[in-house]
Amino acid sequence: MGKNELIQYTILIIVSCNVIGLIFTLVSIHVTALNRFKIQKRRIKPITFYKRLPLIIFNISLLILISYLGLYFFYDYGLFVEGESLNKSSTFSIITAQLFLILVIDDLYFYFLHAMMHKNKFILKKIHYLHHRSIAPVALEYIYVHPLEWMSGYLGPFIGILIISLFGPVSIFSFWLYQIIRNIHELDVHSGFKSKFSKWIPFWGETEHHDKHHESLNGNYATTFTFWDEVFGTKI
Ligand SMILES: [Zn+2]
Ligand SMILES: [Zn+2]
pLDDT at 86: 54
Q: Let me know if residue 158 belongs to a domain.
A: yes
Measured in Å, residue 216 CA sits from the centre of ligand 1 at: 9
Number of the ligand closest to the Cα of 127: 1
Measured in Å, residue 137 CA sits from the centre of ligand 2 at: 7
Measured in Å, residue 210 CA sits from the centre of ligand 2 at: 6
**Torsion sign (Cα): 53, 135, 142, 127:** positive
Residue 27 CB-density burial (10 A; 0-12 exposed, 13-18 middle, 19+ buried): exposed
- pLDDT value at 77 more than 80: no
Residue 103 CB-density burial (10 A; 0-12 exposed, 13-18 middle, 19+ buried): buried
CA of residue 174 relative to chain centroid, distance: 15
Q: Let me know if residue 236 belongs to a domain.
A: no
Least confident window among 7-21, 35-49, 50-64: 35-49
Residue of 199 and 224 predicted with greater confidence: 224
What is the mean pLDDT of the segment spanning 40-52? 91
Number of the ligand closest to the Cα of 145: 2
CA distance linking residue 64 with residue 70, whole number of Å: 10
**Torsion sign (Cα): 154, 117, 181, 61:** negative
Q: Let me know if residue 87 belongs to a domain.
A: yes
Residue of 83 and 77 predicted with greater confidence: 77
DSSP secondary structure string, 157-195? HHHHHHHHHTTSPEEHHHHHHHHHHHHHHHHHHTS-BPP
Q: Let me know if residue 10 belongs to a domain.
A: yes
Domain tally for the chain? 1
Number of the ligand closest to the Cα of 143: 2
What is the mean pLDDT of the segment spanning 179-195? 95
- pLDDT value at 15 more than 90: yes
Measured in Å, residue 109 CA sits from the centre of ligand 2 at: 16
Q: Let me know if residue 13 belongs to a domain.
A: yes
Least confident window among 64-73, 96-105, 143-152: 64-73
Q: Let me know if residue 177 belongs to a domain.
A: yes
Domain ranges, residue 141: 3-231
Q: Let me know if residue 33 belongs to a domain.
A: yes
**88-121 pLDDT tens trace:** 556 888 899 999 999 999 999 999 999 999 999 9
Least confident window among 9-18, 23-32, 162-171: 162-171
Number of the ligand closest to the Cα of 211: 2
Indicate the pLDDT class of residue 30, thresholds 50, 70 and 90.
Answer: very high
Measured in Å, residue 215 CA sits from the centre of ligand 2 at: 10
What is the mean pLDDT of the segment spanning 200-218? 91
Q: Let me know if residue 109 belongs to a domain.
A: yes
Q: Side chain identity at 161, as an amino acid letter?
A: I
Cβ 221 vs Cβ 213: under 8 Å: yes
- pLDDT value at 82 more than 70: no
